[in-house]
């Protein structure tokens, strides 16, 4: 299917062509006709699947068809609410790109900056308003915004809205926007809380689930390092000795932790910046721009601040702290391996994170391969019956950190030495294949149900759908300098 096969008008098709896209992603192919038909829409799709274009394109078309030829101040017809400033800016950029020939006006408002420029834009009149909840309610209270004419309401990243405590703000908005409206609801996960919220604001919606919450992209290679907490910074420096890692996104659990990692890296001559809620908007945008341009090699982010980081070519990410919410792991590693591209997700696991790691593996229905050989202290991992782990006082043995004859270390750099992946037979690897600097180890006889498929053709955000292949397991090999 091509974009030209969908019921999209010529001005928007021309803009899509300008962006270099021809084939819609699955969420776009499902959402665009449904939204154009006037139905409420409930979409479950991970980041990087093109969901922003999935609602931006039909909204632009519907507003274009209703444009009032008479002069006068424009009234807000579409409201898009999103949890973070970065994501709000990204959405506005999508409307600018796909609506460049439609003659519509849009504005984006968010906190953390002075409101003068935003209120001036609102005074001029806009058709489409993209907003974060706090600034939106603030400017409504000051009389700058009226939602009386809203025809389309979009709630994006609804799961993150709930995580960030915006549920009461959403309820306030629902009380003032017209009951007669079209509502579009998007979330990367569909928890019971999300389904309850969706049930209160949607009427007979079209439901499309592109990627289940427990699924990680098959093009992302995952591995975990069992390491003592105090050695994590040194391990990052060790990994960055590989020149193939041009840049890497690092996740920490706290803002303070992000700043500490940056301080350590900068002290060792590595260009690094942090992005989190305590940073000013200008600082956050500068850090993000520097990272995209690869003048900053390491961007350290908290989960909330990372939403809206939209970098198609990002290949490496590191979980400095394993998230305590399993679904967040899926969110995080979705920053890489976008639209069919290859990605590498590395996790550091200390004693405190063992239970969280077990929960993640249960959610994604797979064991994350363990990198056993690296130059920093690692703990012995002995899970209890309750899926918790304690540190063994005795070394050696056949624990998770022990040597395994299935994956013997070769005399090469140990930055990415072969991890132990549970579930495979005790066969020595037959061969290894270089894939972007990573050895893909192919056992002589893979266990039943595991085949090895190359990832689908890479694409950009609104590019064609991924070619689904057999489920594979990529085992980490060594990266040579």
Count the domains in the chain: 2
In a shared domain, residues 10 and 92:
yes
List the CATH number of the domain containing 290.
3.40.50.300
In a shared domain, residues 254 and 293:
yes
By the 10 Å C-beta count (0-12 exposed, 13-18 middle, 19+ buried), 65 is classed as: exposed
In a shared domain, residues 126 and 258:
no
pLDDT of residue 339: 65
In a domain, 408, yes or no: no
In a domain, 418, yes or no: no
In a shared domain, residues 235 and 116:
no
Task: Please work out, in degrees rounded to the nearest 5, the angle formed at the alpha carbon of residue 278 by the alpha carbons of 301 and 304.
Answer: 40
In a shared domain, residues 154 and 7:
yes
In a shared domain, residues 287 and 179:
no
| Per-residue three-class SS string for 164-190 | CCCHHHHHHHHHHCCCCCEEEEEECCC
Of 370, 399, 428, which one is at a domain's C-terminal end?
A: 399
In a domain, 19, yes or no: yes
pLDDT of residue 56: 97
Q: Which domain holds residue 144?
A: 3-209
In a domain, 390, yes or no: yes
Of 209, 236, 265, which one is at a domain's C-terminal end?
A: 209
Q: Using DSSP, state whether 80 is helix, strand or coil.
A: strand
Strands, DSSP E only, in 200-353? 206-209, 220-226, 248-251, 272-275, 298-301, 316-319, 343-349
In a shared domain, residues 173 and 301:
no
Instruction: Find out whether 45 and 132 touch, Cβ atoms under 8 Å.
Output: no
In a shared domain, residues 18 and 150:
yes
Token digits for 107?
């504005």
pLDDT of residue 462: 42
pLDDT of residue 430: 37
In a shared domain, residues 186 and 258:
no
CA distance 289 to 239: 23
In a shared domain, residues 245 and 106:
no
In a domain, 430, yes or no: no
Instruction: Find out whether 163 and 188 touch, Cβ atoms under 8 Å.
Output: no
Paired sense of beta strands 381-383 and 389-391, if any: antiparallel
In a domain, 83, yes or no: yes
pTM exceeds 0.85 for this model: no
What are the DSSP calls for 337-364, one per residue? SGGG--EEEEEEE-GGGHHHHHHHHHHH
In a shared domain, residues 189 and 251:
no
pLDDT per residue, tens digit, the chain (481 aa), is 899 999 999 999 999 998 878 899 899 999 999 999 999 999 998 666 788 999 999 999 999 998 766 566 789 999 999 998 888 988 998 999 999 999 999 999 999 899 999 999 999 999 999 999 999 999 999 999 999 999 999 999 998 888 888 999 999 999 999 999 999 999 988 888 899 999 999 999 999 988 655 567 778 999 999 999 999 999 999 999 998 899 999 999 888 899 999 999 999 999 999 998 778 778 888 998 899 889 999 999 987 666 557 676 789 999 999 988 787 888 788 888 776 778 999 999 998 899 899 989 988 889 999 998 888 866 565 444 444 333 333 333 333 333 333 233 333 344 444 444 333 333 433 333 333 333 333 333 333 333 333 333 333 344 443 333 333 333 333 333 3
Instruction: Find out whether 177 and 151 touch, Cβ atoms under 8 Å.
Output: no
In a domain, 69, yes or no: yes
pLDDT of residue 389: 37
Of 372, 399, 426, which one is at a domain's C-terminal end?
A: 399
In a domain, 335, yes or no: yes
CA distance 112 to 103: 29
In a shared domain, residues 228 and 205:
no
């Amino acid at each position: 299917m091509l974009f030209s096969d969908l019921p999209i008008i010529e001005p928007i098709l021309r803009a899509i062509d300008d962006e270099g896209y021809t084939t819609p992603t699955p969420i776009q192919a499902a959402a665009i006709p449904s939204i154009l038909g006037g139905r409420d829409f409930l979409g479950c799709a991970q980041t990087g699947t093109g969901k922003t274009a999935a609602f931006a394109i039909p909204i632009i078309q519907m507003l274009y068809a209703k444009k009032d030829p008479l002069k006068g101040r424009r009234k807000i017809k579409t409201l898009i609410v999103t949890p973070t400033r970065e994501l709000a800016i990204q959405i506005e950029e999508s409307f600018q790109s796909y609506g460049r020939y439609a003659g519509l006006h849009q504005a984006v408002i968010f906190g953390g900056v002075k409101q003068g420029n935003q209120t001036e834009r609102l005074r001029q009149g806009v058709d489409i308003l993209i907003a974060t909840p706090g600034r939106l309610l603030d400017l409504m209270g000051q009389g700058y915004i009226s939602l009386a004419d809203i025809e389309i309401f979009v709630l994006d990243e609804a799961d993150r809205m709930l995580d960030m405590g915006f549920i009461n703000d959403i309820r306030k908005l629902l009380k003032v926007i017209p009951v007669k409206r079209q509502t579009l609801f998007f979330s990367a996960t569909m928890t019971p809380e999300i389904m309850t919220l969706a049930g209160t604001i949607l009427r007979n919606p079209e439901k499309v689930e592109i990627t289940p919450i427990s699924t990680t992209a098959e093009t992302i290679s995952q591995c975990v390092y069992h390491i003592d907490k105090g050695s994590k910074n040194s391990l990052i420096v060790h990994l960055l000795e590989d020149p193939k890692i041009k840049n890497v996104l690092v996740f920490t659990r706290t803002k303070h932790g992000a700043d500490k990692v940056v301080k350590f890296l900068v002290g060792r001559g590595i260009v690094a910046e942090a992005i989190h809620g305590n940073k000013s908007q200008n600082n956050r945008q500068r850090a993000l721009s520097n990272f995209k341009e690869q003048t900053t090699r390491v961007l350290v982010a908290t989960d909330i601040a990372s939403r809206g980081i939209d970098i198609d070519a990002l290949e490496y990410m590191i979980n400095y702290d394993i998230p305590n919410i399993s679904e967040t792991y899926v969110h995080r590693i979705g920053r890489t391996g976008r639209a069919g591209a290859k990605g590498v997700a590395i996790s550091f696991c200390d004693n405190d994170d063992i239970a969280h790691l077990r929960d993640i593996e249960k959610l994604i229905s797979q064991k994350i391969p363990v990198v056993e050989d690296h130059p920093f202290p690692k703990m012995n991992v002995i899970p209890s019956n309750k899926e918790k782990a304690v540190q063994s006082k005795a070394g050696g043995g056949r624990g998770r950190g022990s040597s395994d004859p299935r994956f013997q270390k070769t005399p090469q750099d140990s930055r990415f030495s072969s991890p132990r992946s549970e579930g495979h037979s005790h066969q020595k690897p037959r061969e290894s294949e270089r894939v972007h600097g990573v050895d893909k180890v192919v056992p002589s006889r893979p266990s039943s149900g595991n085949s090895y498929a190359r990832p689908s053709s890479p694409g950009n955000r609104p590019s064609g759908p991924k070619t689904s292949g057999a489920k594979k397991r990529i085992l980490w090999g060594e990266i040579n300098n």
